Structure 1
Amino acid sequence: MGKIGSGLRLVAVLVTVVALSACAVRYRDHGYVPRDEDLARITVGESTREDVARAVGRPSTTGLLTGGAWYYVGSRFRLYGPREPEEIDRQVVAISFDDRGVVENVERFGLEDGKVVALSRRVTDSNIKGVGILRQLLGNLGNVSAAQLVNE
């Protein structure tokens, strides 16, 4: 019985060590945000897109509006055991350009400045709000022309 008891103790210790190591906090970084020293090499009103690309690199995200902007986004997540990852830090550097491609503004935003923005929505706007199904069906009765009937 001594061998079985010591074997069970060893298994119990191993299970405890594995369970405790699974609960260790881990951190994961995503994205890239230029350092302040690199951003200092950019001069508002003088630097061009190519100057910015040389100083801090090209971004993964750009704006679509006139002149556009370059966005550098970096996030830090805390992972703890089986829990959902928690974003603990986010930095966004936005460099906007005028129509000539010259730097117009350089801004840095943190997680505390952020708002939830829906980047994609699968909602179709409909003009039939408040119209019942019977009215929709009866409303189409007069919309069929003779040309449509002949072509069918």
Structure 2
Amino acid sequence: MIGIRQRLRGTMLALGVLALSACSATYQNHGYIPPEEDLQQLVVGVDTRATVDDVIGPPSTSGVLEQGDYYYVRSRIREYGMYRPEVVERQVLAISFDSTDTIANIERFGLEDGVVVPLSRRVTESSVVDNNFLRQLLSNIGNIDPGDIFN
């Protein structure tokens, strides 16, 4: 009888430890910010867009214009159990250029500077809404023009 109680107690203890470890936070890192040592090599008013590309590399995000500014973004997101993921750190490095492609300014922004700016991608919505394959197939039956078949 004592052996069964000890096994049951050991099993319950193991399940308790497993349940507690499942509730630990996990972190995801996204993006890239160049190290400060590399940024020290860039001189505002002297270096150009080509120099930035050589020293720290082109960014994954740039301004909307053809020759827009450079934006390097790094985010750290914490996921904890069933709760919504939370951005705990976000840094944005903005390098702006003047009309001659010379560096005009280098700025660094973080969460402490203001509100979290949600990063999102614009995706063109599909014209197929709430239609499965069978519904799409059957809806085209009445759209067949016999003249197109014989020509």
* Separation in 2, partners of 1:21, 1:31: 28
**Separation in structure 2 between the aligned mates of residue 90 and residue 37 of structure 1, nearest angstrom:** 20
C-alpha displacement of 1:24: 2.0
Residues 67 and 96, structure 1, Cα contact 8 Å, conserved in 2: no
Residue of structure 2 in register with 1:19 after alignment = 19
**Per-residue deviation at 1:4?**
2.9
Any gaps of 5 or more consecutive residues in structure 1? 123-152
Instruction: Indicate the residue corresponding to 1:46 in structure 2.
Output: 46
Query: Do structure 1's residue 102 and structure 2's residue 102 form an aligned pair?
Result: yes
- Under a length normalisation based on structure 1, what TM-score does the superposition of the two structures give? 0.69
- Work out the CA distance in 1 between the residues paired with 2:3 and 2:53: 68
| Matching residue's letter, 2:12 | A
In the superposition, relative to structure 1, how do residues 12 and 40 fare at CA in structure 2: closer, same or farther (>3 Å)? Answer: same
Whole-Å separation in 2 of the counterparts to 1:121 and 1:56: 29
Larger radius of gyration: 1
Which residue does 1:90 correspond to in 2? 90
- Alpha-carbon deviation of 1:75? 1.0
Taking the aligned partners of 1:20 and 1:117, their CA distance within structure 2 comes to 31
- Matches of 1:118 and 1:11 in 2, distance apart? 45
Structure 2 vs 1, CA of residues 118 and 4 (structure 1 numbering), >3 Å: closer, same or farther? closer
| Contact 1:66 1:99 survives alignment (8 Å) | no
Give 1:68's aligned residue.
68
2: CA distance between counterparts of 1:23 and 1:107? 38
Once the two structures are superposed, residues 75-113 of structure 1 have per-residue CA deviations (whole angstroms, 9 ceiling, x without a partner) of 112222222221111100001112322111111001133
In 2, are the aligned partners of 1:67 and 1:99 still within 8 Å (CA)? no
Aligned to 1:33: 33
